[in-house]
Chain A
C-alpha cells in the first residue's frame, strides 16, 4: 500500500506552500496530505517549518505561494475565523489563553453565547462544563486561567477547539510542557477524539511520540517536506534520517569521566531555595557538586526549577536561602560580573533574550559580559575588540566571517557559536550550559557537544541542563533528575537509562539525593 496516494478525498491537502518572515524562509514548497480520521505526525527538527505550515493551514498566516485544500475545497489564504467555521482548530505550543479571563470565557471567546443582546455567561459556563464531562477534559469552568496548572491550561486549549466543533485538530508540540503521565493521558484523549471521527495533526520532534500514536508521518527539513510514510512501515532510524538529511546514530555516545577522585568541587550548591515567577520555592532546598573534569547533566521536564537554578548560580536571580560556592569561594551575594571574573562561564538557555544582542555586531557580541576587560578608563578599546573578533571567528568558524554584521543576521547555529566562543575563550573553571543546542542544526549540535567535552577534558566543571534526554545521556558523566525544584535522583552515567530517568522525571520514583 502506498500511503502517498489516498483513495478518499484528503481531509487536508497542502501543495507547494511557501512562506517567509523577514530574513527567514520558513516554508519552501512544502506538501502535506492528511486522510480523514487519522492521527498524522508532522515531524522535523526545531526550525524546520512545522509550526509555520500549521499556522498557514489554520489561517493565521496567508502563504506566499501554494494551495491549501480542506475537504477538497480550495481555502488558500483563508482567515482564522473561516478556518474555525470549517472545523479546523489549532492548539498552539505557546498557549493562546487570556490569563485574566475565566476558563469558560476563554473557551467561548470568539463564539460567545448571547441572550437578549448581551453575553450569556451562565450559558457559557454550562456549555463548558457539559463539554468537559463529555470529552473527559476536566477543568473548573469558573476559574481564572491565570490560576491553572500547565496541564489544565492545555486541556482548556483542546476544549476551545472542540467547542468550535473542530473536525481537524492541529496540535503544536503538545507534550513539551507535560510530564509523562500527563502525556499518556493526552494520548488517550486524542485517540478518543479521533475515534469520534476527527482528524488530528500532531507536530512533534520526538520520535517515540510519532511511533506511539500516529498512523502516518510527514517529515520536514529546512522548510520543505522531504518524506511521507506510514508509521508502521517506517523505522525510527528511517524517520530520523529524513529529519536530519543523513545517517544518524541513535545509539547513545558514552563518555568516561576524567575526574580524579577526591578533588574539590569547582561548583557547589548548598541547600539552595529560589523563588520562581509562580511559586515561592521553584528551587527547593537543592544541593549539588560539580567537580573539575566532569559533566553533570540535569534532566527533567521543563519548568521544574532548572531555569531558576541556573539563573541563581549565574547571579541573575536572587536566592531565598542557601549558598553557591565557586572554586570554594562563597559567591551567593556576588554580582554577575564578580562571578564571571571569578571563573564562571554561562551559555544561557535563551540566546535571543540573554545570550546575544541581535542588533549588535558579531564583534560587540563577542565581548558581551567582558566589556570591562575591553575598556581603558571607560573608553572601549576598538582595536582589541576587532582583534578578538577576528580570532574567535576563525577559531569557531562563525559564518559569515564578517565581524561587523549584526548577530541577528546569522543562523541559529552560528549565533550559538558566538555565545560559545565568547564563554569558552576566556579563563573559567565552571561552565553552565543551559539548553546548549536548542534551535540549532545538526552540524552545529555536534560541534557544540564536542566543545563541551573539550572543556571537560581540559579539567573544567561543566553543568548541562537540557530538555533532550538524549543530549543529557550522551554528554554527562553523572546525571541528576530535577522534579518539583529538587534533585530526585543522582545517577552515574553507567546506571542511567531513558526508562529509569523517565520514571524519576515523572515523580513516580524518588531516591534520597
Chain B
C-alpha cells in the first residue's frame, strides 16, 4: 500500500518533472547550437520573468489565459472527450465580452457591467463548446474532428464579422468597449506598471477553485468523471452519458471562453482578430502537464507562460522562436516519456513486491 501511495505521488510529480528536465536539456542544446552560453541565457530568462515585477506581471497575464484553456481541455478529458477547440472558444468568449461591453451604455457601473461581460464570454464559449457536445451525444460524431473543424469556422466567422461589420478602420479590431473593463493589477500594486496583468486573475482563480470543487465534491462531478473513465459503467449507474458529454463540452467551452476576458476586458478593451495566438492549442499542453487536475493546470500554465514570456526576454541573445520549438518538444516528451517511465516504475515496484499488489 505504501508502494501505491508512492506510485500515485510519482505520477503526480512525473509529468512536470519530465517537462522541466526536457525543456532544460533541449533548451541547452538549442542555445549552444546558436553559439550562446546556456547559463547566461537561462539567467536572463529568469530575470526577465520572475526577476522583476513587470516580467512577473506578464507571466501572470499569460498564465491566466492558459489556465482557462488548460482547464477547458482538462474538464473535457475528465469526461473522456478531447476538446481541441479551445482556440475558437477562447476567441468566441473574447468576442462575446467585447460585444456585451459595446452594447452596454457608457458609464454602466463596473459591478453590473463586469459580471454581464463575463457572462457573455462564458455563454459564447459554452455555445461553441456545446456544438461538438450535442453532435457527439446525438449522432456519435467524433468530438476531435468536430472541434478542429469548428475552430476554423468560428475564426472565419469572427473574422468576417469584425472585418466587415465592426472594425475600426485600418485595423482588425472592434471599437473600445463602453463598459466592463477590468482594472489592471498595476492600479493596486505599483510595480506591475506596464504589464497586462489584471484582476481577471481573481475571477479565474475563483473558477479554478469552483471546477476543483465541482469535479471532486459534487454528484455531477462524480458522474462526469465516471463517464470519462468507463462510459458503460456510468450508464449502468443511471448516468445519462450523452447529456453528461454535452454538459462537459459546454462547460469546457465556457471555461475557454472565460479566458477571452483577460485580453478584452483586462488588457486592450477591444476584441482583436487573432488575439488568441495559439493559447487554445497550448491549453492541451497545459492540461497534459497538469495531469487534468485544476491545481496542476495552474502550475503548468505558469510554466508555459514563463517560457513564452521568457522568449521575449532573451530575444537579444537567441531568437525568441526558440521558445516555440521548446514548447513542441516539451509536449512530445511529456506525451511519450510519462507513460514509458510509468511502465518502468510499475514493473520495478512489482519486482519489489514479487507477484503484484498483496491482496
Binding site for B on A (CB under 8 A): 20, 22-25, 28, 314, 316, 335-337, 340, 346, 348, 350, 353-360, 364, 368-369, 371-372, 374-375, 378-380, 382, 399-400, 402, 405, 409-411, 414
Interface set, chain B 287-322, CB cutoff 8 A to A: none
Q: How far is the CB of A218 from chain B (nearest CB, A)?
A: 22
Nearest CB to that of A222 among chain B residues? B355
A22-B346, A23-B357, A371-B222 known; A380 and B230 CB under 8 Å?
no
Q: Is the CB of B1 within 8 A of A400?
A: yes
A337-B238, A359-B229, A402-B1 known; A411 vs B359 contact (CB < 8 Å):
yes
Interface hit among B87-95, B212-220, B327-335: B212-220
Q: How near does chain A come to B240, taking the closest CB pair, in angstroms?
A: 8
Of chain B, the residue at the smallest CB distance from A22 is B346
Q: In the complex, A359 Cα to B229 Cα: how many Å?
A: 7
Task: Assess whether B219 is in contact with A360, with CB atoms less than 8 Å apart.
Answer: no
Is the CB–CB distance between B233 and A368 below 8 Å? Answer: yes
B215 to chain A, nearest CB (A): 11
Q: How far is the CB of A176 from chain B (nearest CB, A)?
A: 21
Chain B residues whose CB sits within 8 angstroms of the CB of A411 once the complex forms: 359
Contacts of B226 in A (CB 8 A): 357, 360, 368
Return the chain B residue nearest A370 by Cβ. Answer: B237
Within the assembled complex, what's the spacing in Å between the Cα atoms of A413 and B217?
A: 30
Docked complex Cα distance between A24 and B229 (Å): 21
Instruction: State the CA gap A336–B241 with chains docked (Å).
Output: 12
Query: Which residues on A sit within 8 Å (CB–CB) of B346?
Result: 22
- Contact status A336-B350, CB under 8 Å: no
A25-B232 CB under 8 A given contacts A337-B238, A379-B218 = no
Chain A residue numbers with a CB within 8 Å of B235 are: 316, 336, 354
A-B contact pairs, 18 of them (CB 8 A): A20-B347, A20-B355, A22-B346, A23-B350, A335-B238, A340-B238, A346-B236, A355-B233, A371-B222, A372-B238, A375-B218, A379-B217, A380-B218, A382-B217, A405-B1, A409-B359, A410-B359, A411-B359
Is chain B's binding surface mostly helix, strand, loop or mixed? helix
With both beta carbons as reference points, the residue of chain B lying nearest to A18 in the complex is identified as B355
Given contacts A360-B229, A411-B359, contact A316 B222 (CB under 8 A): no
Would you call B356 and A353 a contact (CB within 8 A)? no
8 closest Cβ pairs, A-B complex: A337-B238, A375-B219, A369-B237, A336-B238, A23-B356, A25-B355, A354-B236, A368-B237
The verdict on B272 contacting chain A, using a C-beta distance below 8 Å, is no
A379 to B1, CA, bound (A): 29
Tally A-B pairs: CB < 8 A: 91
Question: Known pairs A354-B232, A354-B233. 5 more at Cβ < 8 A?
Answer: A336-B238, A353-B232, A372-B219, A374-B219, A380-B218
Q: Tell me whether A364 and B217 are in contact (CB under 8 A).
A: no
Kindly state whether residue B4 has any CB partner on chain A within 8 Å.
Answer: yes
Contacts of A369 in B (CB 8 A): 236-238
Nearest Cβ in chain B — how far from A182, in angstroms?
29
B143 at the A interface (CB under 8 A): no
Inter-chain CA distance A380–B238, complex, in Å, is 16
A411 CA to B359 CA, complexed, in Å: 7
B96 to chain A, nearest CB (A): 27
Give chain A residues whose Cβ lies under 8 Å from the Cβ of B229. 357-360
A358 to B226, CA, bound (A): 10
Q: Say yes or no: is B223 at the interface (Cβ < 8 Å to chain A).
A: yes
Known: A23-B350, A400-B1, A409-B4. A355 touches B355 (CB 8 A): no
Query: Given the known A-B contacts A22-B346, A25-B356, A405-B4, are A378 and B220 also in contact in the complex, defined by CB atoms under 8 Å?
Result: yes
Q: What separation, in Å, do the CA atoms of A24 and B350 have in the docked complex?
A: 9
Give B344-359 as 1s and 0s: 1 = Cβ < 8 Å from A's Cβ atoms.
0011001000011111
Question: Quick one: which of B234, B238, B359 contacts A399, CB cutoff 8 A?
Answer: B359
Say yes or no: A358-B238 contact (C-beta < 8 A), given A25-B355, A380-B222, A411-B359: no
Nearest CB on B from A231, distance (A): 31
Question: Chain A contacts of B358 at CB under 8 A?
Answer: 400
Residue of B nearest to A381 (CB): B219
Given known contacts A20-B350, A335-B238, A378 and B218 CB-to-CB distance under 8 angstroms: yes
- Tell me the minimal C-beta distance from B232 to chain A in angstroms: 5
- On chain B, the residues within 8 Å of A357 by CB distance are 226, 229-230, 233-234
Best-surrounded residue of B217, B226, B347, B358 (most CB of chain A within 10 A): B226
Residue of B230, B238, B359 ringed by the most chain A CB atoms within 10 A: B238
Give the distance in Å from the alpha carbon of A399 to the alpha carbon of B358 in the complex: 10
- For B220, the closest partner residue in chain A by CB is A378
Expressed in whole angstroms, the Cα–Cα distance for A225 and B219 within the complex equals: 47
